[in-house]
Structure 1
Amino acid sequence: STIENAVATGSIAPWAPIESLPLVYIAVKTNSAEAARVAASLRAGLSGFDTVNFIGRDADGPPDPVTDAISFVFDVLPGPTAGDVTLELQSVATGRVLLSRNLTAADSTPSTVEDSVAGILSSAAPASGTIYNYIEQSGLQTGLTECLLLNDKYYLDQGAKTHEAAYRCLENLINRDAKSSLVYSELATLHLEAATDHYAYPAGATIEQAMSLARRAVQMGPTSPYAHRAYGYLNSRLGNSEESIRWMHKAYELNPYDLSMAAAYAYGLIFAGRYREGTPILAHAAETSSAHPTWWDYGLFVGQFMAGDMNKAALASDALQATPTKSHYLAARLIGAKAAGRNQLAHELADEMTVKFPKFAADPRATFIERRYPADLIDRLVEALRAAGLGNAS
């Protein structure tokens, strides 16, 4: 029958074209023990990313520029010296190499290979990564891939405009009967942001509505790390820290190769007051990942600050210069500057805080309580801000 033929040739889309995601294949072109380990790790890792469709067989036949426009292949090749493995990510349609990494024998031992591959996949497969960058530069984004790119832009530059663009894109997919749990998990988080940051669109957003979107995401994607992370994140913002950590941990287990899942889990632990557990996981994710969002640095600042390592806390706070729009980031920089003995900078930051965030400067404790920080963290932060010269922080 036609259906059987279509299944055999793989020509039936698992869902509507509006939800099609980049296809990723693996082609192993060398047969060393190291290459076999790298390939096995790649398979395990790729199958856990919600943002790509991993096809567990070789890309067959000559590439078709139209149907393979958003298909990609990881070539596992022999490296320059014995024991090395070279990984190349290519566009199937154009042959363009998007990423090339050489893994030495030390990078692909049974104990190191997962980290090596996690670093590569975390920079290649998410919406912030190499594959989606290529899709956007080539103007190939449609439907879900376009929404995921807009969603990523919002987290890099948070404001009403970027928020509304991402929100409307995902909302449009729901109106077109989208089946992907990603649509619901990412919309749930954006809905929460609308409720807490009081964006005009959508009007009257509530945390309850966000929760129901997140629940729907978990029902639709019982093995989706993104759905579990969104549900965990919403619980943390509601102050249900134990519940939050349970869901974040599940997301982390569902895809240990996505460093952003490890970071979200660690962040959840830190803001539940479990600093000693969370800080090493977050530090490891940040070291393994070449580029990462600023909320990782803020979580690291808090973890190191509460562990009493002020050198590392100050280093983490330095990375927050790129996002000047958040009062708590500025607070972290102020504490970090004071700890590093940079008194002139601390003085300037305290002044900037008073001008930009007068409400926070007058009463930082109220903001931290509203954000549901642990009590010991609030006390230490308020004390440190006062010591750093912030008005009469109380």
Structure 2
Amino acid sequence: GMAAPAASSPVVRQSAPSLLRHLQFFWLAIALVIAMLGVLILRQGGSALLAGSDAAPTIENAVATGSIAPWAPAESLPLVYIAVKTNSAEAARVAASLRAGLSRFDTVTFIGRDADGPPDPVAEAISFVFDVLPGPTAGDVTMELQSVATGRVLLSRNLTAADSTPSTVEDSVAGILSSAVPASGAIYNYIEQSGLQTGLTECLLLNDKYYLDQGAKTHEAAYRCLEILVDRDAKSSLVFSELATLHLEAGTDHYAYPAGATIEQAMSLARRAVQMGPTSPYAHRAYGYLNSRLGNSEESIRWMRKAYELNPYDLSMAAAYAYGLIFAGRYREGTPILAHATETSSAHPTWWDYGLFVGQFMAGDMNKAALASDALQATPTKSHYLAARLITAKAAGRDQLAHELLDELTVKFPKFAADPRAAF
């Protein structure tokens, strides 16, 4: 329709340069429309136009069916770069530690070279850069995480000279990476707020939501999302490791979906994850976790330890390994690792605090056990959390609080109160 005027008589009578200019405007207009459609599709998180044979007729449908274009593969993860903008010895150490850490996370794709030249717009939208900058005073290093597309700063930390010595730099960087790079971190939060999540990134966000708020609804959303990727022949071990754990949860918590989940099925998913990701900390952790649920505590600890060694920069791996040690009765080994992870991490799940409470309590350090149990106030929905607080309140002679907690336990969890030993 838009080309019709070019064939009509008045336009033909115009001089050639003028016609050429009209055609240029026309093509510019078309290019603009295509560009705008591209942006719209990108915002919607799926592509109807470029998905080939199974293309959905409308953009809305593309989102509903989740058809993903070749240039936005289902397993495309956020891209992360490093840009070093200062040449102090401290900055060099921080950058080296950043490189070592980023390359070990399953949740992002670390690009070792500089972010030079404009990447394609789809990739740019989910590209992030860690800038290593000079800090406010000599010997300081400032680390900034920015969105490449918008320049928005997602995280900024100043490391003093003391934070970046050869013996402290790994901890400093681990704390930063643990709050930036996993599915619960700053990068994924930004992607979700901006509506840029597709494929695996979206599944990992849903998976994280389940662990923060465990129930049949959040579980099914995460499970179905990962299941779609399996149907599309997923190559990422993450798909299988996270599905394995969710599968086990379905069996133990009696969720309706998937029907008849067994621990054997969960184990076969976890084994597949390890085969696909021989260097994946997540795969090793999932396999370790499943072994612990089967009661193979030695085997479980072996796999959890491997996960911890594969990525010492991910504090959740350290926590899982330490938790495994503590629950196998190896308090002296596990407690210091968990205490360290808890101190280094600014925000962490409450099960870390509970594990730390158990470790400190069993090691006979009542003061530290009380500190750990204080953090459990935020989650009053678990009987064993209340019990932990009750134990430390009683030990500290806080009788009024102990009475209140005891009342709460008997009212909310009568079964637990009747026989705590069985629950523990």
What TM-score results when the alignment is normalised by the length of structure 1?
A: 0.88
Deviation sequence 1:151-184 (CA, Å, 0-9, x none): 1111111111111111111111111211110011
Secondary structure (helix, strand or coil) at the match of 1:215 reads helix
Deviation sequence 1:130-164 (CA, Å, 0-9, x none): 00010011111111111111111111111111111
Taking the aligned partners of 1:9 and 1:158, their CA distance within structure 2 comes to 26
Q: 1:296 to 1:146 in 2, by over 3 A?
A: same
Q: CA deviation at 1:8?
A: 35
Q: 1:7 to 1:148 in 2, by over 3 A?
A: closer
Q: CA deviation at 1:287?
A: 0.4
Structure 1 unaligned blocks of 5 or more: 369-394
Counterpart residue number, 2:160: 104
**Matched pairs, number:** 367
Whether 1:75 aligns to 2:150 is no
Taking the aligned partners of 1:355 and 1:13, their CA distance within structure 2 comes to 54
Q: CA deviation at 1:318?
A: 1.7
Deviation sequence 1:16-42 (CA, Å, 0-9, x none): 711110000001111111111111000
Secondary structure (helix, strand or coil) at the match of 2:74 reads helix
Whether 1:61 aligns to 2:117 is yes
Q: 1:93 to 1:65 in 2, by over 3 A?
A: farther
Q: Which has the larger radius of gyration?
A: 2
Counterpart residue number, 1:385: none
Taking the aligned partners of 1:345 and 1:161, their CA distance within structure 2 comes to 35
Q: 1:6 to 1:206 in 2, by over 3 A?
A: closer
Secondary structure (helix, strand or coil) at the match of 1:51 reads coil
Q: 1:273 to 1:8 in 2, by over 3 A?
A: closer
Q: 1:191 to 1:3 in 2, by over 3 A?
A: closer
Whether 1:322 aligns to 2:344 is no
Taking the aligned partners of 1:288 and 1:181, their CA distance within structure 2 comes to 28
Q: Residue 297 of structure 1 contacts residue 316 of structure 1 at CA under 8 Å; is this kept in 2?
A: yes
Q: CA deviation at 1:12?
A: 15
Whether 1:253 aligns to 2:309 is yes
Whether 1:342 aligns to 2:398 is yes
Q: 1:203 to 1:5 in 2, by over 3 A?
A: closer
Taking the aligned partners of 1:334 and 1:168, their CA distance within structure 2 comes to 39
Q: Residue 326 of structure 2 contacts residue 358 of structure 2 at CA under 8 Å; is this kept in 1?
A: yes
Taking the aligned partners of 2:283 and 2:86, their CA distance within structure 1 comes to 37
Taking the aligned partners of 1:153 and 1:5, their CA distance within structure 2 comes to 25
Taking the aligned partners of 1:124 and 1:217, their CA distance within structure 2 comes to 24
Taking the aligned partners of 1:180 and 1:136, their CA distance within structure 2 comes to 21
Q: CA deviation at 1:62?
A: 3.6
Q: Residue 68 of structure 2 contacts residue 74 of structure 2 at CA under 8 Å; is this kept in 1?
A: no
Taking the aligned partners of 1:367 and 1:198, their CA distance within structure 2 comes to 17
Q: Residue 279 of structure 1 contacts residue 304 of structure 1 at CA under 8 Å; is this kept in 2?
A: yes
Secondary structure (helix, strand or coil) at the match of 1:18 reads coil
Q: 1:362 to 1:86 in 2, by over 3 A?
A: same
Q: Residue 79 of structure 2 contacts residue 123 of structure 2 at CA under 8 Å; is this kept in 1?
A: no
Secondary structure (helix, strand or coil) at the match of 1:336 reads helix
Q: Residue 211 of structure 1 contacts residue 234 of structure 1 at CA under 8 Å; is this kept in 2?
A: yes
Secondary structure (helix, strand or coil) at the match of 1:66 reads helix
**Residues 307-316 or 348-357, more deviating:** 348-357
Q: 1:168 to 1:4 in 2, by over 3 A?
A: closer
Q: CA deviation at 1:230?
A: 0.6
Q: Residue 77 of structure 2 contacts residue 109 of structure 2 at CA under 8 Å; is this kept in 1?
A: yes
Deviation sequence 1:331-374 (CA, Å, 0-9, x none): 21221222222222222222222222222111122222xxxxxx
Deviation sequence 1:251-277 (CA, Å, 0-9, x none): 000000000111111001100100011
Q: 1:8 to 1:319 in 2, by over 3 A?
A: closer
Secondary structure (helix, strand or coil) at the match of 1:250 reads helix
**Residues 314-323 or 211-220, more deviating:** 314-323
Taking the aligned partners of 2:189 and 2:68, their CA distance within structure 1 comes to 26
**Residues 187-196 or 19-28, more deviating:** 187-196
Q: CA deviation at 1:321?
A: 2.1
Deviation sequence 1:180-212 (CA, Å, 0-9, x none): 100111111111111111112111111111111
Q: CA deviation at 1:324?
A: 2.5
Counterpart residue number, 1:381: none
Taking the aligned partners of 1:103 and 1:359, their CA distance within structure 2 comes to 49
Structure 2 unaligned blocks of 5 or more: 1-57
Q: 1:148 to 1:341 in 2, by over 3 A?
A: same
Q: Residue 79 of structure 2 contacts residue 110 of structure 2 at CA under 8 Å; is this kept in 1?
A: yes
Q: CA deviation at 1:320?
A: 1.4
Q: 1:134 to 1:179 in 2, by over 3 A?
A: same
Q: Residue 15 of structure 1 contacts residue 179 of structure 1 at CA under 8 Å; is this kept in 2?
A: no
Q: CA deviation at 1:13?
A: 11
Q: CA deviation at 1:322?
A: 2.2
Taking the aligned partners of 1:104 and 1:11, their CA distance within structure 2 comes to 47
Q: 1:24 to 1:3 in 2, by over 3 A?
A: farther
Q: 1:10 to 1:79 in 2, by over 3 A?
A: farther
Q: 1:292 to 1:4 in 2, by over 3 A?
A: closer
Taking the aligned partners of 2:337 and 2:210, their CA distance within structure 1 comes to 25
Taking the aligned partners of 1:307 and 1:264, their CA distance within structure 2 comes to 19
Greater relative contact order structure (CA < 8 Å, 6+ sep): 1
**Residues 41-50 or 57-66, more deviating:** 57-66
Q: CA deviation at 1:66?
A: 3.5
Secondary structure (helix, strand or coil) at the match of 2:353 reads helix
Q: CA deviation at 1:305?
A: 0.6
Taking the aligned partners of 1:13 and 1:76, their CA distance within structure 2 comes to 34
Counterpart residue number, 1:130: 186
Counterpart residue number, 1:8: 64
**1:40 corresponds to which of 73, 89, 96:** 96
Give runs of aligned pairs for residues 255-334 of structure 1, distance below 5 A: 255-334=311-390
Q: Residue 63 of structure 1 contacts residue 93 of structure 1 at CA under 8 Å; is this kept in 2?
A: no
**Residues 322-331 or 16-25, more deviating:** 322-331
Q: 1:181 to 1:16 in 2, by over 3 A?
A: farther
**Residues 157-166 or 130-139, more deviating:** 157-166
**What is the Cα-based RMSD across aligned positions, in Å?**
5.0
What TM-score results when the alignment is normalised by the length of structure 2?
A: 0.82
